[in-house]
């Protein structure tokens, strides 16, 4: 039995891991187009500074990634974020303001006017939406907690998580748990209080890996009993007598099952001959451009005390946020040195993401000066452009995914699993990949 996993990001590797664990008899082939595994989960080291090209960690309040780490024997690699990283800032109204972590701090915060705060306090009295229609995060936020809260907190949060804006994001696809609170408990506060009572326990802590997220990817690679085809992009697949034939590097390989763990646009190319309707539907998922600019300093007077900052659209800045990585995870910069990563572009300013390296560096430096008053020239610079960085979960995304699943159904042994469909966080990808592996294994055993 041969199974091909196409795409060596965290989704593909996790799917492979759980298939291999349940069915050691299966021969796994992992295809990765780039020269390294990990997809957006990869670490570049420059002069001792460790720059994540994409994700830098995951929260411990969902068990999925921690379970995988444990099952893969990588507990020793886990790295907890510093306690100071709970301190977060929003740049709004021309100044850096601390994100309130408790109700008393919220009441004192200058991020909202008294009127804005009173509107938030009205939330328990707002009637719950009764239909299942998809809606933007903006519309959901304005309904439940008011426009002022939405324009500051939800605006900054959607830039920080999705590189997106609340006017575009589908709340149902991007924040299903929040929608569930309204549906199941009638409101957000009510839901949060009841859920807290049920699930009394510590909140989530941001976790990562010693040496950067790439260290865990490397560990998975070394644990996986698979044949790796790195630097080999699969161009297309065709159905062949109940199996699939893969075309790559002027070669072919016949396999019994295929898991497509690539971005949706790549899955669209790969399935173009196999099923044009499925391919078209996959191509319908668009992506958000976003770039990461990193700076390292041998000496920087700014204390970088906290996790970093996010900006609001109203603040009219050129950067979406600045992550103070060396304060969050101690081993990201050599002793005594500091580093940050700056997010640029997103759906707020897509044109900024695709600037040249020099322009991105200049934009990053201007952003640092405007939001944090930093003028010190960096000693190390890093740029990573993502033309199609994060799937754009816009309104209608869930219906789009349901349609894709329906079109994929008539292809036995073909599975679709990546961050394009049901969650972009590492925890979401790991959970969905474990479920995909369980489905593959159940169908093999049937
Ligand atoms: C800038 C940025 C910051 C982020 N920060 C965080 C964070 O802090 N925390 C968090 O939880 N999440 C974060 N995310 C999201 C998270 O990193 C991703 O959603 C997740 O890593 C996606 O994994 P994946 O395997 O589904 O897809 P990918 O990582 O995109 O992997 C897909 C792989 O498929 C390969 N591929 C494509 N075409 C082919 C082909 N034809 N043949 C073979 N291989 C192919 C690609 O090269 C790629 O390696 C961030 C994302 C970005 C872009």
User: Domains of the chain by range and CATH?
Assistant: 2-42+215-285+394-445 (3.50.50.60), 287-391 (3.90.660.20)
Between the CA of 286 and the centroid of ligand 1 the distance, in Å, is 14
Measure the CA–CA gap between 369 and 414, rounded to whole angstroms: 50
**Gap between the Cα atoms of 135 and 283, Å rounded:** 22
Q: Are strands 287-297 and 88-92 parallel, antiparallel or unpaired?
A: unpaired
Q: What are the strands, taking DSSP E only, across 54-204?
A: 58-59, 78-80, 88-92, 95-98
What whole-number distance in Å separates Cα of residue 364 and Cα of residue 335? 24
Query: Which atom in ligand 1 lies closest to the alpha carbon of residue 37?
Result: 49
Ligand 1 atom nearest residue 40's Cα: 29
Judged by phi (left if over 0) then psi (alpha if -120 to 50, else beta), residue 423 lies in left
Distance from C-alpha of 259 to C-alpha of 436, rounded to nearest angstrom: 9
Question: In angstroms, rounded to a whole number, what is the distance separating the alpha carbons of residues 260 and 417?
Answer: 6
Beta strands per DSSP E along 67-221: 78-80, 88-92, 95-98, 206-209
CA dihedral 243, 246, 250, 251 (to 10 degrees): -50
Q: Are 410 and 271 in contact (CB under 8 A)?
A: no
Q: Which pLDDT value is given to residue 192?
A: 87
* Alpha-carbon span 272 to 400, nearest angstrom: 18
Asked if residue 290 has its Cβ within 6 Å of ligand 1, the reply is yes
Which pLDDT score, from 0 to 100, does residue 446 have? Answer: 85
Check residue 198 and give its pLDDT: 67
Q: Give the position, in ligand 1's atom list, of the atom nearest the Cα of 13.
A: 25
Tokens representing 74 are 């990588």
Task: Determine the pLDDT at residue 200.
Answer: 47
- Distance between start and end Cα atoms, the chain: 14
3-state DSSP helix/strand/coil % of the chain, to nearest 5:
40, 25, 35
Ligand 1 within 6 A of CB of 292: yes
Q: For residue 111, report the distance from its CA to the centre of ligand 1, in Å.
A: 33
Does the pTM surpass 0.85? The reply is: yes
Both structure tokens of 109: 């915060």
Q: Let me know how long the chain is.
A: 446
Name the residue with the closest Cα to ligand 1, atom 12. 425
CA dist 424 to 10, 154, 163, 261, 391, Å? 11, 17, 12, 13, 8
Distance CA 314, CA 150 (A): 11
Q: Report the candidate in 225, 206, 203, 207 with the shortest Cα–Cα distance to residue 215.
A: 207
- How many CA within 13 A on the CB side of residue 404? 26
Distance from the alpha carbon of residue 57 to the mean position of ligand 1, in angstroms: 13
Contact call for residues 181 and 195 (beta carbons, < 8 A): yes
- Rounded to the nearest angstrom, the distance between the alpha carbon of 290 and the centre of ligand 1 is 13
pLDDT under 50 in the chain at which residues? 200
Q: What ligand 1 atom has the least distance to the C-alpha of 425?
A: 11
41 Cα: distance to centroid of ligand 1 (angstroms) = 6
Counting ligand 1 atoms within 8 A of each CB, the residue from 424, 427, 430, 432 with the most, and so the one to mutate, is 424
Measure 262 CA to ligand 1 centroid, in angstroms.
8
**Cα separations (Å) of 257 from 227, 263, 413?**
15, 19, 5
């Amino acid at each position: 039995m041969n199974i091909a996993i196409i795409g060596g990001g965290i989704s593909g590797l996790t799917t492979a891991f759980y298939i291999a664990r349940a069915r050691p008899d299966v021969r796994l082939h992992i295809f990765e187009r780039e020269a390294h595994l990990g997809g957006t989960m990869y670490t570049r080291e420059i002069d001792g500074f460790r720059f994540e090209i994409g994700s830098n960690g995951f929260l411990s309040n969902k068990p999925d990634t921690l379970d995988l780490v444990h099952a893969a024997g990588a507990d020793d690699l886990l790295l907890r974020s510093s306690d100071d990283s709970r301190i977060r800032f929003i740049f709004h109204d021309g100044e850096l303001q601390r994100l309130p972590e408790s109700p008393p701090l919220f009441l004192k915060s200058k991020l909202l006017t008294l009127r804005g705060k009173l509107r938030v306090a009205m939330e328990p009295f707002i009637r719950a939406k009764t239909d299942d229609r998809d809606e933007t995060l903006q519309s959901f936020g304005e309904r439940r907690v008011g426009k002022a809260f939405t324009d500051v907190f939800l605006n900054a949060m959607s830039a920080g998580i999705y590189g997106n804006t609340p006017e575009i994001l589908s709340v149902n696809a991007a924040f299903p748990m929040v929608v569930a609170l309204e549906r199941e408990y009638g409101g957000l506060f009510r839901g949060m209080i009841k859920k807290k009572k049920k699930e009394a326990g510590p909140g989530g802590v941001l976790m990562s890996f010693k040496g950067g997220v790439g260290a865990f990817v490397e560990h998975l690679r070394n644990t996986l009993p698979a044949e790796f085809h790195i630097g080999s992009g699969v161009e297309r697949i065709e159905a062949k007598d109940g199996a699939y034939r893969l075309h790559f590097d002027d070669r072919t390989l016949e396999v019994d099952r295929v898991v497509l763990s690539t971005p949706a646009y790549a899955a669209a190319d790969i399935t173009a001959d196999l099923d044009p309707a499925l391919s078209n539907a996959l191509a319908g998922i668009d992506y958000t451009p976003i770039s990461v600019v990193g700076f390292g300093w041998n000496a920087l007077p700014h204390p970088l005390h906290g996790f970093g900052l996010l900006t609001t659209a109203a603040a009219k800045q050129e950067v979406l946020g600045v992550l103070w990585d060396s304060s969050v995870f101690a081993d990201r910069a050599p002793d005594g040195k500091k580093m940050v990563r700056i997010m640029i572009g997103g759906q707020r300013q897509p044109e900024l993401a695709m600037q040249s390296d020099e322009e991105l560096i200049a934009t990053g430096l201007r952003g640092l000066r405007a939001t944090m008053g930093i003028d010190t020239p960096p000693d190390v610079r890093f740029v990573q452009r993502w033309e199609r960085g994060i799937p754009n979960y816009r309104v209608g995304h869930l219906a789009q995914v349901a349609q894709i699943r329906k079109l994929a159904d008539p292809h036995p042994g073909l599975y679709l699993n990546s961050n394009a469909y049901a969650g972009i966080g590492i925890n979401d990808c790991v959970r969905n990949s474990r479920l995909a592996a369980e489905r593959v294994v159940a169908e093999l055993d049937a």
